[in-house]
Structure 1
Amino acid sequence: MTSRVAIGVALLGFAGAYAQVTVNKAEGWLESAYAEWAPVSGAASYNVYCDGNKIDNQLIRSYGSYMRADVLGLKAGSHTLKIAPVVNGAEGTAATKTVTVLAHDRTGFAFSNGRVPGAYNADGTLKSGAAILYISENTKNTVTMDVTTNAKGSKTTCKSFQGILNCYKKGFETTPLDLRFIGNVTDSDSLLRGDMMIDLGSSENTYVTVEGVGEDAVANGWGIRVKNAQNVEIRNLGIMNVNSNEGDNIGLQQNDQYVWVHNNDFFYGDAGSDADQAKGDGALDCKKSTYITFSYNHFWDNGKSNLLGLSEGSTDGYYITYHHNWYDHSDSRHPRVRYYSAHVYNNYYDGNAKYGIGSTLGSSVFAEGNYFRNCKFPMLTSMQGSDLYAGTTSKSNDNATFSKEAGGSIKAFNNYMEGGTFIAYGTSKYMLKGAEASIGSIDSKTDFDAYVITSRNQEMPASVKSLSGGNTYNNFDLNSSVMYKYTADEPAAAKANVMKYAGRVNGGDFKWTFDNSVDDAAYAVNQSLKNALVAYKGMVKSIQGEGNLPVVTPTSSSSVTSSSSSTPKSSSSSQTPKSSSSVGVNEDPVGEEVSTTPIDKDVVHNFTEDATSSDYFDFVGSLSTSKGAVAFDGLTLTRCLKMESSTLIEFTLSKKATVTLVFDSDFAKNVKVDGNKVAASAGVVTVELAAGTHKIAKGDVANLFLIVVDVDEASAPSSSSVTSSSSTTDETSSSSEEGGTTALVSVEYGAVPMRYVASDALLEIFAENVRRLDIFAVNGNVVKLSTEVVSQSSVDLSNLKPGVYLVRLVAGGKAYQQKIVKR
């Protein structure tokens, strides 16, 4: 009888077994740090320490294939993280990592008069005595806190995060409050007309922070309103699919002071009743509030980003700062200003279909150091200049953008404009659709978009007035009793900082790459993006302290790898992005343990249903199947793997072999081996495979019970092999042997634009318009490539150490990925 050598099949959804903590990634961020690690064999929980202090259980979460802990409230500098598994009640072998943490940029009017909004100090640590509440989908309606609710100091037990805020509204509780949201949180039972309402009764002594934990905290379906509140901070949240009565993602309604909204991701809301609400209502609006800072936020194709205004005509005492925000293909209102004094600096305007900054009704806007890339009209002053000429040589009130409101004033300094139309005061030439043009018949001393100064401390003279309304600029930025201290970046540096730090930690879990050739000028809803946001579900599997974490039991070392196809980290606007709702069991193979030892002997493998332990048999007798069970050589086997469209098994043969897979009944109709459909007879699939790397996938759901590999002992080992597992959300690839290598060929949606030739350690690139090429080692480290790589048709990888790598290519507005094995 032919001998069998047992192999393990490592499910990336369960990450395998480890004797000690294996840290895939540990990094510092803005006043926070995080670590990700593979689940440890037998661990029921984990103790995580930062600088010797144990962190809260709720900060430790399972994502199935990996664990993650985030540490919040850290000073800038070096910090040490220690992760220890807890097995049978005792700590096992720990892993330690040192990370460097950066400080948040606390600049802007929100920090005037000595205030530091929120539950944190200026150094990033929590204020003394601060209360921390963790809110998840499981606890949003049940979290409680005892809150002082009268002048006598009586406490009331308040329930739900909104219920707790309602108790704070009474104005007697001064404990700093930090509401930390975890994962995807949908509407709670106590929202007010579909929104979280932060109304603090105008108390000057109450400090509240609302923040997300990690990369994937989402307010899904509800917005946030701030009213009669001071000392509020909102950070590190993704807000999407808002369907509240007000309709804003975040709105400051009235009588707010010292509010800081930063590092959030603003996505589409539900469509409103008005034509200009197809993408939702306002993303981040502010009305009748002062000493405000909106910074480092990422606006994703919002229709109306930032409305700013008052109902009365006063221009005194209302101050706001917008800095380092990423207006990513959003359409308008960046901001649209009525009456306010607004400092708008170091923002990145990235493909804006309508306009950038709009000044109306006596507002004074200081626009400084901004980077405009294909913003149709970088700056508009109502009822004059480009607002009426609209990029033509004919002036018409019918072109008016701002409901024919009287104009305000914009003073501009050191802005960079790439594309767009802009008329500076008194100029003889202006920028017309990205090209310099003669001013012609336009009187640029009356029809101008902004008054451009040449030095930071230059005044805009009172003689320069808006054409409609005769309003003048108040030069608030030169008033030392009002203006704060700051240092502006040069526009190019501002763009780089914005792209790195705007939005949630590491840009958040929802990735999307816009197609500039289409999306720069489009202001209709991007339906693919909309669909992905509506489908978003989140990837947190469990939270330590809320229930049992998955416990991994030991398995043998593996040479067959089962993985899930993962959506690329960046996607074009015509694809589903790598969001939590659109990936399989394993959202990202980077950091997983993958054996590259090829199979060179006969193997029979069967799992238990939890896919963590194995039994091995000599293959004797016949196979028979029935729904729900498989009889194998007189034994009844349990399910080894539930295969569906998101599941992929990959393995490498050193010799030609016959591979048999046993499924339940005949549900395995859509099995693909190396991208090609194969026949299933009574649930049994048998294929002859050459030496090399192969993958098995399914387009429907079936239970896999058994894998049998019969190696042809007479066949010679392959001298070279090529791995090919490239995929995008819409594209798949198959392989065929040509001259000892595996060529990638089109299946349905076009050819995959790269292949790896293992024998030459050469990555061949066939794509045009290559924007980015990244290579990651299995530990998550990025392989450094020369800057010229993206222009090459082939990349020499002979210097790579042997091992498994993930290659990601962004080209032609799409993203692809391929796992390669370097011998």
Structure 2
Amino acid sequence: MNRIVAKVTSIVLLFSLGLTLLFSGWGTAVVHAAGLTVTGSGGGNEAAFVEWSPVSNASGYKVYVKAASAADSQYQQLHNELIRKYGSYWRADAIGLAAGSYVMKVEAVLSGGGTASAVTGTLAAAPYDRSGFAFAAQSPYGTGSGAYTDNGTLKSGAQVLYVTSQNAQTVTLPVVVSSSGTVQTGVGLGGILSLRQKGYDTTPLAIRLIGKVTAADLSGQLNSGGYLEVKGKSNYTAMNLTIEGIGTDTYAYGWGLLLRYAGNVEVRNLGLMLFPDDGISMDTGNANVWVHNNDIFYGSAGSDADQAKGDGSTDLKKGSTYITISYNHYFDSGKAALVGLSESAEFFVTFHHNWFDHSDSRHPRIRVASVHVYNNFYDGVSKYGVGVTTGASAFVEGNVFRNARYPMLSSLQGTDAQGEGTFSGENGGMIKAFNNSVVGAASLIYANSGAGTAPANATSSDAYLASSRSEAVPGSYKALVGGTAYNNFDTLVDTGVSAAAVDNVSAVEQKVTAGAGRQGGGDFSWSFNNAVDDTSYAINAPLMAAIRSYTSGLVSVGGNANPGGPSPTPAATPVPTVTPVPTATPVPTATPVPTATPVPTTTPAPTAAPTSTPAPGAAVHNFTASGTSSSFFTIQGNLSTSKGTVIYNGLTLTQCLKIESATRIQFTAAQASTLTLVFNSEGTKIKVDGTSYPITNGIATVSLAAGAHTITKDSTANLYYLVVE
């Protein structure tokens, strides 16, 4: 199947609205306003984007997003890193949008003073399809959404880390590394993940990659095999982690991902090129992992003859369970997906809406597991589609097999027992097939029907052909070698997929080719020649050349004007996130910890000179000077002088308010304000009006609407100073 990929895409910020749509359009309307021209805009999965032409006298840009029905006062400013410059245009992506309708605004800050702005039309953000075993009721964590809620918005208190080719080795993040709350600063992407491996910090974390990030950019951050390690402390450690690409052009180039002992991890919107061995390896003790909407290209050649295109594109094994692999676009992969290696116990995996675009084999290749394979497009598959061995059970429904040589195989029986044998020498497994479209297969033998390419064979077959989705396969049908019967998992456990969620097979090809892969189809386009590539499993030399020569069109990151996140070049600090608020309440602009904000230090650090002072009229409370007495704040709680010394703003702070269950601070802001809270290193989160906010390097910064507010405990912490301004 050929596809020319459109240049437009989507992905971005954090906001919420409850309005459900099924798919999104990509707008291209040109909007002019006072010298600023919006040249393209559109919506995507839980995202929207805007592109505009440079303004000649602009010193920088800010970009905002709001619900289409909301007042202008509810615009939220995007983080600075989400604004990027390309050769002839600028682009910004808003990520983490609940399904609904949105409007984006671009504002140019003019060098001579003043601004110019333009607003897009209505942009539709569609929901991601959260289906499959990663979301099944019986799974350990109940979700594979990582740092996000299941409605697409960032979880309360989530951290956001922006990673580019320039800062991949230097970006920093404070990480809790002990049961007592000790915080250590991780340096570099690999260093941060290594500290989180200790298992004490499960704060939701969205790692947002921007542009082409190469193995060289990650020097010192990868393991000896060339993998970025995402590890928990032990089996199924809750990671609450999303690794995602921004826009259409993010690449993990020359490196792969290794997930081990990880629970609740999401990997999305990446292009994986020239990975070592495996692209995404889910190796040992993972649960609730969701790998979706990625473009997966050739890996680096391995030592074996069948590894010329790399080894596994998305492999999982050794106790990894409740996994969903969906909406990925596999470009001529040699071995798309191994499921199981040496397991002895049943585990659960779902493959749905993937585009196996002229890939060769293992779609997937299954041992022991119970795997639901539905609504995938097998597009010119040169070897085989689904293969089962060693007692595996696969429910294969609603897929399209176009010129897939052998759509389904079971080891040592049926098609695999004919001629040279193409699959495996292991014991067989069982496949239940229902409502698939099969065109151009060389061989398909059903156990109980003549609907395949050969007469039915109850003893030696490729699959059992069910007459209904809910039909149980009789125990009399067994694997020829090994004697395993189909375990009927699909009728006995929650697969995370209802009958209504399975698309009619007639709609699968169109839906998959339109929706699989990165937002908007990514920036890499390729046309296969079906006449040649349907049957060839050799490397496509022109495709490999295009992959090797790929260069990024990204010029710079950041809007260069009073950012809504860190500095124009991605800073080495995490970005505090905005908690969505009801659309009826005005949304103040999010103010992450700016680089000018002094970071408190504990003794014996030297006294720091003031780097900023509260604005006139600000309400300030110093617990060292005033205890709990204040004319602005009502303070309930216990003071302590034994928690160490904090130096902040030139002040030496020796007394704190202990943030405990009984602690409460109440106040009323006359207008929209910013609350800054200063702690020592012990705390990780604080609640304001019942919502958790992260404490980063001893600082918590919260944007407030006018009105009454209350500060209470989330984690144990020690508060030395606060200001509302």
Give your verdict on TM over 0.5.
Answer: yes
TM-score in terms of structure 2 length: 0.69
Corresponding residue to 2:257 among 224, 243, 253:
224
Query: How far off is 1:117 after superposition?
Result: 3.1
CA contact (8 A) 1:381 1:409 kept: yes
Aligned position for 1:108: 132
* Cα distance in 2, alignment partners of residues 481 and 350 from structure 1: 29
CA contact (8 A) 1:148 1:173 kept: yes
Q: Does 2:399 match 1:370?
A: yes
Task: Map 1:85-104 onto structure 2 (within 5 A).
Answer: 85-88=108-111, 90-104=114-128
Q: Does 2:152 match 1:131?
A: no
Task: Map 1:414-563 onto structure 2 (within 5 A).
Answer: 414-420=435-441, 421-428=443-450, 430-431=452-453, 439=455, 444-480=457-493, 484-485=497-498, 487-544=501-558
Aligned position for 1:153: 181
Q: Does 2:336 match 1:305?
A: yes
Q: Does 2:65 match 1:75?
A: no
Tell me the SS of whatever aligns to 1:472.
coil
Query: How far off is 1:253 after superposition?
Result: 0.3
Q: Which shifted more, 419-428 or 500-509? A: 419-428
* Cα distance in 1, alignment partners of residues 146 and 287 from structure 2: 12
Between the two structures, name the one with larger relative contact order (CA 8 Å, sep ≥ 6).
Answer: 2
Query: How far off is 1:18 after superposition?
Result: 8.9
Aligned position for 2:304: 274
1:483-517 Cα deviation digits (max 9, x unpaired)? 65352111121221111110001111110010000
Tell me the SS of whatever aligns to 1:35.
strand
* Cα distance in 2, alignment partners of residues 211 and 95 from structure 1: 27
Q: Does 2:121 match 1:121?
A: no
1:510-550 Cα deviation digits (max 9, x unpaired)? 1001000000000000011001101112110111168999x
Aligned position for 2:62: 47
Tell me the SS of whatever aligns to 1:122.
coil
Tell me the SS of whatever aligns to 2:520.
helix
Task: Map 1:201-212 onto structure 2 (within 5 A).
Answer: 201-202=233-234, 204-212=237-245
Query: How far off is 1:21 after superposition?
Result: 1.9
1:451-491 Cα deviation digits (max 9, x unpaired)? 00111110111100011111111000001456653521111
Tell me the SS of whatever aligns to 1:477.
helix
Aligned position for 2:227: 195
1:19-74 Cα deviation digits (max 9, x unpaired)? 52211111000001111111112112111000100001101111111111111000
1:282-335 Cα deviation digits (max 9, x unpaired)? 100010200000000000000000001131333x3x000000000000000000
Aligned position for 2:53: 38
Unaligned runs of 5+ in 2: 1-29, 67-74, 564-725
Task: Map 1:384-783 onto structure 2 (within 5 A).
Answer: 384-389=413-418, 396=419, 398-402=420-424, 404-420=425-441, 421-428=443-450, 430-431=452-453, 439=455, 444-480=457-493, 484-485=497-498, 487-544=501-558
Unaligned runs of 5+ in 1: 1-14, 390-395, 432-436, 550-823
Query: How far off is 1:428 after superposition?
Result: 4.0
1:635-686 Cα deviation digits (max 9, x unpaired)? xxxxxxxxxxxxxxxxxxxxxxxxxxxxxxxxxxxxxxxxxxxxxxxxxxxx
Query: How far off is 1:142 after superposition?
Result: 1.1
CA contact (8 A) 2:355 2:377 kept: yes
* Cα distance in 1, alignment partners of residues 417 and 210 from structure 2: 47
* Cα distance in 1, alignment partners of residues 539 and 341 from structure 2: 29
Query: How high is the sequence identity, in percent, across the aligned residues?
Result: 47
Aligned position for 2:380: 351
Query: How far off is 1:80 after superposition?
Result: 1.0
* Cα distance in 2, alignment partners of residues 221 and 508 from structure 1: 18
Corresponding residue to 1:291 among 282, 299, 322:
322
Aligned position for 1:214: 247
CA contact (8 A) 2:136 2:494 kept: no
* Cα distance in 1, alignment partners of residues 239 and 316 from structure 2: 20
* Cα distance in 1, alignment partners of residues 166 and 495 from structure 2: 45
1:549-587 Cα deviation digits (max 9, x unpaired)? 9xxxxxxxxxxxxxxxxxxxxxxxxxxxxxxxxxxxxxx
* Cα distance in 2, alignment partners of residues 75 and 425 from structure 1: 46
Kindly tell me the number of residue pairs found equivalent between the two proteins: 512
Q: What is the letter of the counterpart of residue 256 of structure 1?
A: N
Aligned position for 2:287: 257
* Cα distance in 2, alignment partners of residues 333 and 258 from structure 1: 22
Q: What is the letter of the counterpart of residue 46 of structure 1?
A: Y
CA contact (8 A) 2:206 2:244 kept: yes
* Cα distance in 1, alignment partners of residues 172 and 191 from structure 2: 8
1:106-125 Cα deviation digits (max 9, x unpaired)? 00100123334300001000
Aligned position for 1:29: 44
Tell me the SS of whatever aligns to 1:356.
strand
Superposition RMSD in Å: 1.9
1:209-239 Cα deviation digits (max 9, x unpaired)? 0000000000000000100100100000000
Change (3 A) 1:212 1:45: same
Structure label with greater radius of gyration:
1
Tell me the SS of whatever aligns to 2:122.
strand
Tell me the SS of whatever aligns to 1:513.
coil
Q: What is the letter of the counterpart of residue 475 of structure 2?
A: A
TM-score in terms of structure 1 length: 0.61
Change (3 A) 1:168 1:374: same
